[in-house]
């Protein structure tokens, strides 16, 4: 009897070890705000092709960059400008999604964005600290996304950039049956090299602890210099770099959970 117990403990431990060994922590990097700064944009497009790019639809480089990304098999998101907390309107020449737009208008706006950012597989918010905390506005946006998905046979997912601590974007997307995930770390909220290195350490720790983590960076010289050094080392450090949709699809498994056990954002 004793040896049977000991045997089953052994089997359990081996299974545990195997499952831990199989669970390589996964990291997704999304580079926001593409389309305006050609030199920096091209430096981003030269990074590992598993780095996802989020392109502003109305930017001058949107069409060209999204086509280029397709030739690289690189994942592309629509970087959707939403109303911020301290300004009602977006930067000049950008159309901010309105807080009072009905789902139909949202869907038209998204269809237009999709025509500019060809092949996009999801959206993430540019700014939007005012919009993403507004439950009704977010519901209309989610409805617009669902319409586009059913009309065009797509499976657009949501990456909540989490520009406001009380955002409801991810939660409402999951509740509506869309795939979704969230940003855990901003790589360059403070764009000096030491702060970027600190954010990176935090990202790796989060991925190790929870099995995955999502970071957002921006077209900045310091961020690029850091990623050019750090990305090739990831695999040797025991991490897998993945396009962000890999992490969003898994979230469909927890649809309906009000407070999923996600890593906390800083």
Binding positions for Zn ion, rule: CB under 5 A: 32-33, 126
Q: How far is the CB of 126 from Zn ion (least distance, A)?
A: 4
Question: Closest CB to Zn ion among 126 and 162?
Answer: 126
Contact in structure between 99 and 134 (CB atoms under 8 Å): yes
CB of 17 to Zn ion, least distance (A): 42
The nearest distance, CB 68 to Zn ion, in angstroms, is 19
Beta bridge partners of 29: 215
Q: Residue 132 in contact with residue 164, Cβ under 8 Å? A: yes
**β-pair type (26-34, 180-182):** unpaired
Token reading at 122:
């999801």
CB of 98 vs Zn ion, minimal distance in Å: 18
In this structure, are residues 54 and 34 in contact, taking their beta carbons and an 8 Å threshold? yes
**Structure token pair of residue 235:** 């695999």
C-alpha separations of 215 from 48, 160, 264 in Å: 15, 11, 12
| Number of residues that make up the chain | 266
Instruction: Name the residue nearer to Zn ion (CB basis): 144 or 217.
Output: 217
Closest contact distance (angstroms) between CB of 79 and Zn ion is 6
Q: Which is nearer to Zn ion, 146 or 218 (CB)?
A: 218
Which of 90, 82, 94 has its CA nearest to residue 130? 82
Give the nearest distance from C-beta 160 to Zn ion in angstroms: 13
Report the nearest approach of Zn ion to the CB of residue 236 (Å). 31
Cβ nearer to Zn ion, comparing 161 with 234: 161
Considering beta carbons, is residue 45 or 80 the nearer one to Zn ion? Answer: 80
- C-alpha closest to that of 262 among 205, 213, 217: 213
| Sign, Cα dihedral of 243, 244, 246, 247 | positive
Which residue lies nearer to Zn ion by CB, 33 or 75? 33
Closest CB to Zn ion: residue number: 126
Contact 74, 52 (CB under 8 A): yes
The nearer residue to Zn ion, 32 or 41, going by C-beta atoms, is: 32
CB neighbours of residue 168 within 10 Å: 18
């Amino acid at each position: 009897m004793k040896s049977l117990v000991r045997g089953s403990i052994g089997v359990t431990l081996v299974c545990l070890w195997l499952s831990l060994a199989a669970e390589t922590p996964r990291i997704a990097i999304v580079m926001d705000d593409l389309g305006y700064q050609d030199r920096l944009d091209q430096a981003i497009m030269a990074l590992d092709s598993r780095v996802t790019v989020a392109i502003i639809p109305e930017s001058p480089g949107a069409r060209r960059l999204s086509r280029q990304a397709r030739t690289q098999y690189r994942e592309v998101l629509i970087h959707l400008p939403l109303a911020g907390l301290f300004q009602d309107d977006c930067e000049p020449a950008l159309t901010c999604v309105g807080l009072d737009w009905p789902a139909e208008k949202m869907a038209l706006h998204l269809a237009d964005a999709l025509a500019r950012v060809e092949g996009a597989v999801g959206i993430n918010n540019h700014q939007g600290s005012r919009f993403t905390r507004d439950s009704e506005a977010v519901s209309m946006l989610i409805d617009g996304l669902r319409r586009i998905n059913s009309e065009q046979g797509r499976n657009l997912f949501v990456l909540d950039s989490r520009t406001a601590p009380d955002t409801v974007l991810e939660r409402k997307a999951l509740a509506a049956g869309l795939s979704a995930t969230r940003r855990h770390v901003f790589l360059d909220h403070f764009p000096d090299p030491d702060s970027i290195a600190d954010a990176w350490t935090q990202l790796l720790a989060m991925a190790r602890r929870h099995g995955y983590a999502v970071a957002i960076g921006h077209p900045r010289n310091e961020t690029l210099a850091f990623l050019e050094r750090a990305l090739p080392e990831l695999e040797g450090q025991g991490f897998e770099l993945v396009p962000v949709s890999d992490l969003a699809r898994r979230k469909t498994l927890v649809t309906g959970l009000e407070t999923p056990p996600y890593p906390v954002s800083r």
